[in-house]
Chain A
C-alpha cells in the first residue's frame, strides 16, 4: 500500500509538473504570498532582530512546545523538523536557525480550529540552535534544540 501511495504521488507529481510547464497555473507566481511576506523579518541577519521583526519579541521558554529535530543532521540541506504546540489558542508557529545568515526560516499561520502541528524541512549551514516561536492568545512562547551539522565520515 505504501508502495502504491509512493507510486501514485510520483505520477501525480509528474502530471503537476506538466501542467505547470504548460502554463495552466491559475495563480500568478508570487501573488498570493506577496500579501503576507514579512520582508523585514526574513532579511534580518541576526536572531533577535528576526524574532522581533516577525513579532515574536519577548517570547518566554515553554515546555508545552515539543520541538522534534535530529541530534545530528543527516543532510544539512534538508533537516526534518516537527513542532507540536500544546499551548491553548496557538495561532502561529515560526522557525529560526540561529547561525544561518538569515535566521528566519518559516512562519506558519494557523486558522482557528487547526491542530497546532507543523512538519517541514529546513536548511542549515552549520551546527546551530533551532528555535521555534509560538504565538498563543496574543502571547509569545519559545523552545530550542541544538542540531549538529557535521562533515561526516570516519564512523566506527
Chain B
C-alpha cells in the first residue's frame, strides 16, 4: 500500500528524534510481566482503584495529552504536566514502559513496541494478582464505566455492569452512567448491584426536598479495621450532560455536606476515610484543602494518569489526592498502614495495564466474547484506513475530533463546526483500519444528534468563551473538567492571561474576520437541550469515512495561544 512507506518514514523520524535504536527493544511477553507487576505488599489496608474506563472491554491504544494547561494555582503542578516535564517531575526514565504509559512522547512508535493497554480480561488477571498479596483489598470504580463503547450503548450499560460484577468491584460512584437515565441507574443499583456493589454519592439529592438518592458512603471492614468509602459523583452532570435524563436529581460539589459525612463516618468508627471522587483532579485538590478528616481522595473524570499522589494540607491535617487515568489503562494501588486507629503510613502505585504483559483472565474473556457476539459483525465494519495517528485527548483539537469536524462540515454543508471537548475515545496508529467500533468509541452517547444551526458571529464567540471558561476559570470549582470545544473552520487566538469573555479573539473564517452580526451555518452534535433531534453523529461520520476510504493525516485547527510561555502543560 502506498502509505506504508510514509508510515515507515514517520516511524523512522520518531525513532531518530528520540534517539531510539530500532532493533534494541527487549522482547515483551506475559512472562516478563510478572516482574513488572511484582508489588510487595505494605500495611494492612489496600484499595485498588480504576476510573473512567469508558466501557473499553478490550485492549486499546490511548494517547495521553501533549497539551494539558494549568493556570494560576494549577500552573506547572500535577496534573498539569505533560511529556518530558512529567517524566522529570516524577523521576521516570525516558524510553521506558512507564514513560510510554504516562506521556505521549513518540506515541505511535512506542505503542507499536509496547502494544495495547487495558482490557477487562487483562485487568481481571492483574486485580486477582494484586488481591492475592493483599487479603481483604477493596476494588473501587470511580465511574464513567457504563459509557464509551458501542456495546455499552446498545446494551444500556449491561455489558459493563456484568463485567464489573465479575471483576469484583466493591464500591462505585458515577457520571456518564447518569446519561443512561435516572431509572436505568436505579434499576442497576437496586437489582444487579444489590448486595454486591455499593453505589455511593454524597452529593446527589432530590431537587425538591434534598433527600439523598444513594447512600453517602459504604463502611467496610478490612482485616478488622473499619474503612469508609464516600462517593462523590461528577458535580456538574446536569450541566455538562442533558438535565432531562436526571430531571429530579441535583448535584453540586457540596463540600460542607461532605464534611458532615466525613464526621459521621468517623463517628461510626471509620479509621480510614477515603473519597471515591469523580470531581476532576483540580476540584479534588481544592476540596482536599477545605475538608478535614479525609485520608485520601481517589479521583477521576479529568483522565489524568498521575504517577504519585499530591499531598494537600488542611485544617485537620493532610489528604492524599490521586487520579488514575482512563480507558482501562491503569490500576491504582493504595496501601495504608493503620496503627492505633489511624493511618501511620502509605504506599501508592499507579500500575499501567500493558496487555502484552498480562495473560487474559479466561472467565472475563469468555464474558466479553459473549456480550460482543450479537454485535461483532457491525463492530468490525471497516469504514476507512487512516494514514495518520488518530487520538482525541488534549486541551484543543485532537486528530480524531478534526476528522469528525471535517466530516460534519462536508456532510452538512456547514461553514464551521463544533465538537464537544470529551476526553474519552481511543487512539489509532497510522495505517490502522477505522472500524465502526473505533468510531463508536468517539461518539457512543445517548444524545448523539447532529445539528445544523444558524448562528451569528457573536453567538459563536459567546459559545467558545463559555466553554473556554469551563476549562480555564481560575477557580477549579467553576471548571467542568472537559477540554475546549473542538472548532472546525474558524481559526482563533486564545489568551490564557485573560478572563471570561476576553480569551477568544481574532476569529477568522475563510480568511476573513468573523462578522459578529452575520449568520453562519454551524454543524455540531451532542446537544444537551431537551427535544433536540438529528441524524446520529456516527452515521454522519461513517458516511464520510466510507466515501473517502483513505483518511490522510489531519491538519489540526489549533488556536494560537497567548500567555502560554513556560507552561509545563504544553509539550
Near A by CB (< 8 A), chain B positions 190-242 give 206, 208-209, 211, 234, 236-241
State the CA gap A68–B256 with chains docked (Å).
10
- Which of A71, A73, A127 is the most central at the interface, judged by chain B CB atoms within 10 Å of its CB? A71
- Which of A5, A151, A153 is the most central at the interface, judged by chain B CB atoms within 10 Å of its CB? A153
List chain B residues, Cβ under 8 A from A25.
none
Selected from B208, B252, B481, the residue in CB contact (under 8 A) with A156 is B481
Cβ contact within 8 Å between B303 and A156:
yes
Which residue of chain B has its CB nearest to the CB of A9? B208
Which residue of chain A has its CB nearest to the CB of B280? A156
In the complex, whether A32 has a CB less than 8 A from a CB of chain B is: no
In the complex, whether A38 has a CB less than 8 A from a CB of chain B is: no
Cβ contact within 8 Å between B209 and A154:
no
In the complex, whether B470 has a CB less than 8 A from a CB of chain A is: yes
- Which of B241, B423, B480 is the most central at the interface, judged by chain A CB atoms within 10 Å of its CB? B480
In the complex, whether A125 has a CB less than 8 A from a CB of chain B is: no
Cβ contact within 8 Å between A151 and B466:
yes
Selected from B211, B250, B421, the residue in CB contact (under 8 A) with A154 is B421
Cβ contact within 8 Å between B475 and A156:
no
Cβ contact within 8 Å between B477 and A71:
yes
Cβ contact within 8 Å between A153 and B526:
yes
Cβ contact within 8 Å between B240 and A2:
no
State the CA gap A74–B475 with chains docked (Å).
17
State the CA gap A119–B467 with chains docked (Å).
30
In the complex, whether A148 has a CB less than 8 A from a CB of chain B is: yes
Chain B interface residue number, banded: 35 or more
Which residue of chain A has its CB nearest to the CB of B239? A152
Selected from A74, A150, A152, A153, the residue in CB contact (under 8 A) with B251 is A74
Which residue of chain B has its CB nearest to the CB of A152? B239
Which residue of chain B has its CB nearest to the CB of A78? B207
Near A by CB (< 8 A), chain B positions 293-334 give 301-303
Cβ contact within 8 Å between A153 and B528:
yes
In the complex, whether B527 has a CB less than 8 A from a CB of chain A is: yes
A151 shortest CB reach to chain B, Å: 5
State the CA gap A65–B483 with chains docked (Å).
36
List chain B residues, Cβ under 8 A from A155.
234, 236-237, 239-241, 470, 480-482
List chain A residues, Cβ under 8 A from B234.
155-156
List chain B residues, Cβ under 8 A from A5.
209
In the complex, whether A48 has a CB less than 8 A from a CB of chain B is: no
In the complex, whether B177 has a CB less than 8 A from a CB of chain A is: no
Convert B255-283 into 0s and 1s, putting 1 for each residue whose CB lies closer than 8 angstroms to a CB of A.
01000000000000000000000001000
In the complex, whether A28 has a CB less than 8 A from a CB of chain B is: no
- Given the interface pairs A2-B211, A6-B208, A72-B480, the reply to whether A152 lies near B528 with Cβ below 8 Å is yes
In the complex, whether B364 has a CB less than 8 A from a CB of chain A is: no
Convert B381-423 into 0s and 1s, putting 1 for each residue whose CB lies closer than 8 angstroms to a CB of A.
0000000000000000000000000000000000000001111
Which residue of chain A has its CB nearest to the CB of B418? A154
Selected from A6, A71, A151, the residue in CB contact (under 8 A) with B252 is A71
Which residue of chain A has its CB nearest to the CB of B420? A154
Cβ contact within 8 Å between A150 and B466:
yes
Cβ contact within 8 Å between B253 and A152:
no
Which residue of chain B has its CB nearest to the CB of A155? B240
State the CA gap A153–B466 with chains docked (Å).
10
In the complex, whether B433 has a CB less than 8 A from a CB of chain A is: no
List chain B residues, Cβ under 8 A from A154.
240, 420-422, 467, 470, 480, 482, 485, 526
State the CA gap A73–B250 with chains docked (Å).
10
Which residue of chain B has its CB nearest to the CB of A151? B466
List chain A residues, Cβ under 8 A from B303.
156
List chain A residues, Cβ under 8 A from B122.
none
Selected from B240, B243, B500, the residue in CB contact (under 8 A) with A75 is B243
State the CA gap A155–B280 with chains docked (Å).
11
Convert A54-84 into 0s and 1s, putting 1 for each residue whose CB lies closer than 8 angstroms to a CB of B.
0000000000000010111111000010000
Cβ contact within 8 Å between A71 and B478:
yes
Number of chain A residues close to chain B: CB under 8 A: 20
In the complex, whether B469 has a CB less than 8 A from a CB of chain A is: yes
List chain A residues, Cβ under 8 A from B240.
152-156
In the complex, whether B463 has a CB less than 8 A from a CB of chain A is: yes
State the CA gap A153–B527 with chains docked (Å).
7
Cβ contact within 8 Å between B238 and A71:
no
A67 shortest CB reach to chain B, Å: 12
State the CA gap A153–B211 with chains docked (Å).
26
A109 shortest CB reach to chain B, Å: 25
Near A by CB (< 8 A), chain B positions 454-490 give 462-463, 466-467, 469-470, 473, 475, 477-478, 480-483, 485
State the CA gap A70–B256 with chains docked (Å).
12
Cβ contact within 8 Å between A150 and B481:
no
State the CA gap A148–B421 with chains docked (Å).
19
State the CA gap A71–B255 with chains docked (Å).
11
State the CA gap A71–B234 with chains docked (Å).
14
State the CA gap A63–B424 with chains docked (Å).
42
Cβ contact within 8 Å between B421 and A72:
no
List chain A residues, Cβ under 8 A from B482.
154-156
State the CA gap A154–B447 with chains docked (Å).
12
List chain B residues, Cβ under 8 A from A80.
250
State the CA gap A155–B534 with chains docked (Å).
20
Selected from A6, A71, A75, A151, the residue in CB contact (under 8 A) with B253 is A71
State the CA gap A127–B301 with chains docked (Å).
24
List chain A residues, Cβ under 8 A from B251.
74
State the CA gap A30–B237 with chains docked (Å).
39
List chain A residues, Cβ under 8 A from B483.
156
- Given the interface pairs A71-B478, A72-B480, A75-B243, the reply to whether A150 lies near B209 with Cβ below 8 Å is no
Selected from B250, B422, B469, the residue in CB contact (under 8 A) with A74 is B250
Cβ contact within 8 Å between B420 and A153:
yes
List chain B residues, Cβ under 8 A from A71.
252-253, 475, 477-478
List chain A residues, Cβ under 8 A from B480.
72, 150, 154-156
- Which of A6, A70, A156 is the most central at the interface, judged by chain B CB atoms within 10 Å of its CB? A156
List chain B residues, Cβ under 8 A from A72.
236, 239, 477-478, 480
List chain B residues, Cβ under 8 A from A70.
252
Residues on A lying within 8 angstroms of B by beta carbon are 2, 5-6, 68, 70-75, 80, 127, 148, 150-156
A72-B236, A153-B527 given; name 11 further pairs at CB < 8 Å: A74-B243, A74-B250, A75-B238, A152-B528, A153-B241, A153-B528, A154-B240, A154-B467, A154-B480, A156-B423, A156-B480
Can you give 22 contacting A-B residue pairs, CB < 8 Å?
A70-B252, A71-B478, A72-B239, A73-B239, A74-B238, A148-B469, A148-B478, A150-B470, A153-B420, A154-B240, A154-B421, A154-B480, A155-B234, A155-B239, A155-B481, A156-B175, A156-B303, A156-B422, A156-B424, A156-B481, A156-B482, A156-B483
The 3 closest A-B pairs by CB, nearest first: A155-B240, A71-B477, A154-B420
